[in-house]
Structure 1
Amino acid sequence: MNPKTITPASVEIRQIQFNEAFLVIPLFDQYRVFYNQVSDIPRAQAFIEARLQQNESVIFVAFAKQDGPLHPAGFTQLYPTYSSVRTVKNWILNDLFVEAAYRKSGLGEALIRKAMAFATATGAHFLQLETATDNFTAQKLYERIGFQQQQPGADFLLYRYPLI
């Protein structure tokens, strides 16, 4: 399947629970390798299972159909952050990864939009993310969606999407 042919009918994005951690572990390991870490499936498994078991993060997995059943092709992981002054929970979109075969197919944007809808539904005031200063493809996507750069950094750029 050519990634450009992905349609809503061929993709399903849903939040996974602790007993489904196995669905995201290989993708999470690939994500870490993308950021110059050594592949370590046991470490990836321990980290993901701990986040889900302790309700410390929310993970959405994108399942794509390619010549057969749906399979995990991308994910995003959100962490809560709190504002005492506003007395609200906001969300940090900390991890976003799409398998190479599905990049530039709209899958990454679909995951971000799912995260935006989730953050809105939970009453958050904003969704925040960071990206490397040299990740120009991601920066273009975030800005096209409506994320606003907050402050330049040495290695990473901070973006926020206001929800209210």
Structure 2
Amino acid sequence: MAISVRQAVLADLETIVPLFDGYRCFYGKTTDPAAARTFIAERLALNESVIFIAQDHEGKALGFTQLYPSFSSVSARRIWILNDLFVAATARGRGVGKMLLDAAREHAVRTGAKRLALSTAHDNPAQKLYESQGYVRDRKFFHYELELE
């Protein structure tokens, strides 16, 4: 089965929504397609993120990754935060995640980025995929968060 990966546009919104809602559910949120639709529509309309979507030869959505732009002050260069990576359960084990990571990497290189950065849950099995693609677990820095609500 042929799988293609391409950068999503606003016209892809309804294709992305079920995947994004599934991603949120994977991380313990209650399904909310309306919130997913609003969030993704805003990111795409405002050019606040870059989304790559994987589809089969019939156009069925198999997975997505979403990148957010940021910068490294020390390097004085752009970085991309690979914030979301999700592959539908029916498409796992077929190389979709790797293809999405490859698209993210190519985009980062094309835009002159210093690096791609990601965070994941301690129990996320995708860690093996990340490490197989050259991602290295940070052992130099502690990461902190401040919840605001």
The 1-side partners of 2:3 and 2:142 are apart by: 35
The equivalent of 2:115 in structure 1 is: 126
Question: Which of 5, 11, 14 is residue 22 of structure 1 equivalent to?
Answer: 14
Structure 2 counterpart of 1:139, which letter?
Q
Structure 1 counterpart of 2:75, which letter?
R
1:134-149 pair list within 5 angstroms:
134-135=123-124, 137-149=125-137
The 2-side partners of 1:84 and 1:141 are apart by: 29
The equivalent of 1:55 in structure 2 is: 47
State which drifts further: 143-152 or 29-38: 143-152
Query: How high is the TM-score relative to the length of structure 1?
Result: 0.82
1:1-164 pair list within 5 angstroms:
6=1, 10-65=2-57, 69-135=58-124, 137-151=125-139
State which drifts further: 82-91 or 36-45: 82-91
Structure 1 counterpart of 2:19, which letter?
L
Q: Which runs of 5+ in 2 are unaligned?
A: 144-149
Secondary structure of the structure 1 residue equivalent to 2:30: coil
Deviation at 1:19, TM superposition (A): 2.6
Moved over 4 A (4+): none
Deviation at 1:48, TM superposition (A): 0.3
The 2-side partners of 1:119 and 1:78 are apart by: 9
More strand by share: 1
The alignment's C-alpha RMSD in Å is 1.6
Residue identity over aligned pairs, in percent, reads 45
The 2-side partners of 1:18 and 1:102 are apart by: 23
Secondary structure of the structure 2 residue equivalent to 1:42: helix
Q: Which runs of 5+ in 1 are unaligned?
A: 1-5, 155-164
State which drifts further: 117-126 or 78-87: 78-87
